[in-house]
Amino acid sequence: MLEWFKSDKKKIFLITFFIKGLLMYIFWVLFYDNWLINTQLINSGLINHLVKTNAALLNFFGFTFFEYDQTIGIDGSHGVFIGDPCNGLSLFALFAGFVIAFTGKIKYKLPFIAVGLLIIHSLNIARIFTLTLLAKFYPDTLDFNHKYTFTYLIYSVIFVMWMVWVKKYAQKK
């Protein structure tokens, strides 16, 4: 059995990557479920930032809007509720975990992760802004776009960023 591992560096790489990824996933689940979710420090901070940023965007574009706790909306609509699963934190962990688990130098990983998190957060701001507009002007399309369009779009961008990491930075000497 050990000969199989020694015979092919790609197999070793894939197994190592899988084990790192699995360990990071287990760590994240234990850390999030047992501590982070109970403190609500990061979740509520992210949600508050998303609400305030979208309020600023709505104000900039001249909309009369309301914000209440974790909900933002244009007057005359039911608005958009931003729950913990929608704040982007799990996407941050998914993106960063892949980059950390994959090969590459730490001096490239840290700035790449920082830029990636900024891109993901910016996309989430745009997603919530668009969902807020849909809730007002096209409420029948809100559920579909929330479940499918934006999920596909954001995961596609994350995948492209992973491919950029693999192709440009993972093996950089």
Distance, in Å, from the CA atom of 161 to the CA atom of 34, rounded to the nearest integer, reads: 30
Q: What is the pLDDT of residue 23?
A: 79
- Cα–Cα dist 26/10, whole Å: 24
User: What is the per-residue pLDDT for 3?
Assistant: 58
> Residue 165: helix, strand or coil by DSSP?
helix
Q: Do 120 and 158 contact (CB within 8 A), yes or no?
A: yes
Pairing of strands 65-68, 80-81: unpaired
**What was the pLDDT predicted at 124?**
97
Predicted TM-score (pTM) of the model is 0.84
SS3 state of residue 172? coil
Which pLDDT band, with edges at 50, 70 and 90, does 7 fall under? low
- Look up tokens 């809007």; give the residue: 65
Question: Among residues 98, 96, 101, which one has the least CA distance to residue 20?
Answer: 101
The per-residue pLDDT for range 116-160, each reduced to its tens digit, is 999 999 999 999 999 999 999 999 999 999 999 999 999 999 999
pLDDT at 114: 97
Domain boundaries, the chain: 1-39, 41-169
Number of Cβ within a 10 Å radius of residue 116 = 22
Sheet holding 80-81, edge to edge: 65-68, 71-74, 80-81
Flag whether pLDDT at 72 surpasses 70. Answer: yes
The Cα–Cα gap between 54 and 130 comes to 10
| pLDDT 10s digits, 86-118 | 999 889 988 999 898 888 888 999 999 999 999
